[in-house]
Structures are given as C-alpha cells and as structure tokens.
C-alpha cells in the first residue's frame, strides 16, 4: 500500500498539536487580566498538562494490548479539538467559573497530546521507508515549526483584534485537528507492533538497552524543556531585555533552531549516538554561559543556541532505540514518552524553585553586589546553572551507552 498520505497526516497532526503547548502561555496574561486568575493557578495549568500526558503515557505503557490503536489514532485529533473548544467557550459563557473551564479544557487536550506522543512516532516508524530515522526527525521538526506558526499567528491576531477576542483565536486552532481527523480516516494504516516480547537472555539485554534509552530521553527532554519554559522569563528578568524582543529573538528563534536541527538531520543525518553526545555537550556549555556570563547579549545567544543543541535529544533517542532494539513496539514508545514528559515537568519546576530560593538568600546579595546584579537576576542565573546538570549527566549516560553497545557488538 501507498502510505505517503498516512505520513503526511502524521506530519500535519504534529504541526497542529503544537498549539496545545505554545498557545496557553501566550494567553496567560489575558486570563489574569480578564478573569483574575492568579499566577499560581496559571502555573497549575502547566502542571495539569504534563501530569495528564504522563498518566496517558503510563496507561499505554502497561495496557497497550487493550486498545485498538488504529481507532485511537483517528479519534485523537477530535479529542484535541474538543479540548480547545472547551478552553475557548466555557470561560466566555461562564466567566465567573473561567478557571474550571480552562482546567477542564487542559485535561482534555492534554489527553490528546499524550496520545500524540505515544502513537505518532511508532506509526511513522511502522511505515515502510528507506530512511526511517530521517522520517522520525522530520516528524519532530514540525512541532518546532508549529510553535513558530502559533506564536506568529497569535501575536498578530492579538495585536490586530485585541486580547478580549482570544477565544476566536483558540477556536481557529481547534479547527486544524479536524483536518488531521479527515486525513487519517482516508489514509491506510500500517500494522504497528504493540509490544516486543522476548524471554531469557534476550529479554534481559533488551531491558538494559531500554533502560539506557529511557534515561537518555529523560535528561535530553529536561535539557530541552528547561530552556523552552524559561527562555522568555530569563531574557526579560535576568537580562533586562523587553518581553517583545525576548519572545521574538528568544523563544521564536529558539524554536526555529530546534526545527532546523531536526530538519538537517532528516536530510543529512547519520551516527545518531555521536549527534546526541555532541548535543548534550553543546547544551551543557550553553547553560554554563547563560549562568555565569554577565554580558546580556552573550547570555541571550547561549539561550538561543541551546535550541539547535537540544534539537535531536528527544527524537534522536527514539531513533537510537529503534536502531538498538528492532521493532520495539508501542509499549516501548509509551515508556519513552513517559520518561520524556517526566523530564519536561520536573526540570522547569526545579529551576523555578532554585531561582526563588536563591533570590531571597544572602548569597544572592553578596554575588549581586560583586557582579552588579540584583537578587532576582542571581536567582535566575542559579537556575540556569542547575539546568546545566541535566545535559551534563546526559553526557555520562551517552558515553556509557556507546561503550555498552560496542561491547555487546563485539
């Protein structure tokens, strides 16, 4: 069968799904101004998002065989649309209960986001191809380009029509997954392995390889999402650069480089373990510069360059898993997604906690006086230095992985 249309459906779905992650933060200020939602409750929405995805990942890790995977893939875009519509309509109809609607919508579209992470990668991997690793890299690159699309469209819409009409913007993004639903319903579906059961020595070797890949994607996801979640705030608060410049030259360029790295691998990439190792090393250096440099331009460049350094750390680990564990099955992808989501949720929270703790300490005053920085700037830079340890540990994990599989091959 010709699966070109199926592959295009997967690509478009990943592009459309980016609104689930990048649109809510853009609207947080609007929610605070229109509905009086506190910063704490806004942060809770982010936590709800990642926790819901993590639960979905774990359900598919242990109970994959109870699902009709092909039907779930087709229904998944409609769940996304339903969540975004709840997100848009509920606060408009019942503004006094706006937060309940935002939380409910977040739960619904986060279920779809979790399904997307669990199912689209093995679906693309199951499509016959001469370059499966490049197809996987291209799939994940479209998420980054989707972020650029959402930020650009949202900024223009809110500038032209005003933030009070945010619900129409959300409804627009709710339409895109419907197109994905139509594409999937009219495309042939390849057979996906649900699990890869083995016994004895083979199962033990596969278990060790799987554990190493799980650790790798945890540290890689933490390295990527630490900067994704904090780059705008860091540029604005720690470097005293305006929010507009921070969003445009910070988050947007970061996302472009994230997508560019994945696109370049899709076209020219090989030796994925070396690519992952260089990415971890580059991310470590970037976080170090952002944490210690007192030159704002240099710190901002380091933040942005982190995008291309971390671009392959998530999809590249999936490629590594497919290379070392042939036909891993949906269960393995679900476990990888769970580990990635765990890294994406714990790392940004740890950085925020460190930044808050350091900012009110005597250490911040001492260092701030010496470097001509205020306490908040010292706290944010301390957070960046803590973030450095995720790719730094990832370097050790990858060196162990390279040696482990080299010994296994010999």
Could you read off the pLDDT of 140-190 as tens digits, one per residue? 888 888 888 888 888 888 888 888 899 999 999 999 999 999 999 999 988
Count Cα atoms within 13 angstroms, Cβ side, for 329. Answer: 17
Mean local confidence (pLDDT), 344-373? 83
Task: Using the structure block, give the residue that is written with the tokens 């650069």.
Answer: 241
Structural domain boundaries enclosing 175: 9-190
Choose the final residue of a domain: 164, 190, 216: 190
- Check whether 126 has a pLDDT greater than 90: no
What phi and psi, each to the nearest 5 degrees, are found at residue 269?
Answer: -70, 150
Q: Which range is least confidently modeled, 191-200, 211-220, 316-325, 344-353?
A: 191-200
In a domain, 45, yes or no: yes
Is the separation of the CB atoms in 355 and 278 below 8 Å? no
Q: How confident is the model at residue 205 (pLDDT cuts 50, 70, 90)?
A: low
Q: Hey, is 329 helix, strand or coil? A: coil
Q: How many domains does the chain have?
A: 2
- Are 179 and 226 within one domain? no
Choose the final residue of a domain: 190, 209, 232: 190
Residue with more model confidence, 67 or 72: 72
What is the structure's pLDDT at 1? 65
What is the C-alpha radius of gyration for the chain, rounded to an integer number of angstroms?
Answer: 21
In a domain, 42, yes or no: yes
How many angstroms separate the CA atoms of 168 and 74, rounded? 25
- Are 174 and 294 within one domain? no
How many angstroms separate the CA atoms of 387 and 198, rounded? 38
- Are 137 and 285 within one domain? no
How many angstroms separate the CA atoms of 15 and 338, rounded? 21
- Are 260 and 375 within one domain? yes
CB-based burial of residue 153 (10 Å sphere; 0-12 exposed, 13-18 middle, 19+ buried)? Answer: middle
Residue 190 CA, chain-centre distance (Å), reads 26
pTM summary value: 0.80
Task: Using the structure block, give the residue that is written with the tokens 């690519």.
Answer: 275
In a domain, 86, yes or no: yes
- Check whether 61 has a pLDDT greater than 90: no
Q: Hey, is 75 helix, strand or coil? A: helix
How many angstroms separate the CA atoms of 178 and 184, rounded? 10
- Are 258 and 171 within one domain? no
- Are 111 and 222 within one domain? no
In a domain, 272, yes or no: yes
Q: Which of 14, 265, 259 is closest to 120 using CA atoms?
A: 14
- Are 168 and 104 within one domain? yes
């Amino acid at each position: 069968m010709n699966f070109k249309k199926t592959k295009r459906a997967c690509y478009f779905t990943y592009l459309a799904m980016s609104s689930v992650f990048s649109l809510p933060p853009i609207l947080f200020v609007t929610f605070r101004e229109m509905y009086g939602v506190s910063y704490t409750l806004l942060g809770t929405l982010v936590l709800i998002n990642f926790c819901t995805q993590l639960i979905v990942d774990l359900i598919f890790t242990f109970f994959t065989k109870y699902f009709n995977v092909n039907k779930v893939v087709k229904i998944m875009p409609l769940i996304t649309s339903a969540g975004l519509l709840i997100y848009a309509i509920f606060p408009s109809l019942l503004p006094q209960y706006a937060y309940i609607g935002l939380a409910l919508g977040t739960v619904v579209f986060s279920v779809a986001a979790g399904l997307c992470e669990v199912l689209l990668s093995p679906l693309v991997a199951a499509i016959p191809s001469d370059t499966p690793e490049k197809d996987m890299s291209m799939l994940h690159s479209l998420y980054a380009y989707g972020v650029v699309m959402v930020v650009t469209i949202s900024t223009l819409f809110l500038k032209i029509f005003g933030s009070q009409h945010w619900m129409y913007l959300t409804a627009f993004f709710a339409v895109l997954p419907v197109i994905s639903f139509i594409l999937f319903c009219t495309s042939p579906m390849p057979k996906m392995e649900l699990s890869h059961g083995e016994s004895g020595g083979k199962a033990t070797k596969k278990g060790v390889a799987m554990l190493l890949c799980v650790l790798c994607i945890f540290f890689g996801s933490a390295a990527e999402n630490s900067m994704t979640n904090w780059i705008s705030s860091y540029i604005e608060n720690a470097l005293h650069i305006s929010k507009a410049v921070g969003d445009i030259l910070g988050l947007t360029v970061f996302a472009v480089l994230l997508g560019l790295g994945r696109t370049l691998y899709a076209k020219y990439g090989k030796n994925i373990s070396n690519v992952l190792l260089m990415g971890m090393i580059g991310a470590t250096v970037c976080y170090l510069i952002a944490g210690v440099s007192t030159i704002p331009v240099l710190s901002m460049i380091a933040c942005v360059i982190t995008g291309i350094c971390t671009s392959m750390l998530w999809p590249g680990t999936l490629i590594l898993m497919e290379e070392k564990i042939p036909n891993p099955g949906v269960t393995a992808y679900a476990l990888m997604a769970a580990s990635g989501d765990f890294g994406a949720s714990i790392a940004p929270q740890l950085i925020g906690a460190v930044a808050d703790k350091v900012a009110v300490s005597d250490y911040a005053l001492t260092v701030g006086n010496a470097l001509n920085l205020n306490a908040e700037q010292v706290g944010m830079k301390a957070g960046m230095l803590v973030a450095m340890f995720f790719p730094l540990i990832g370097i050790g994990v990858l060196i162990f992985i390279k040696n482990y599989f080299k010994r296994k091959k010999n």
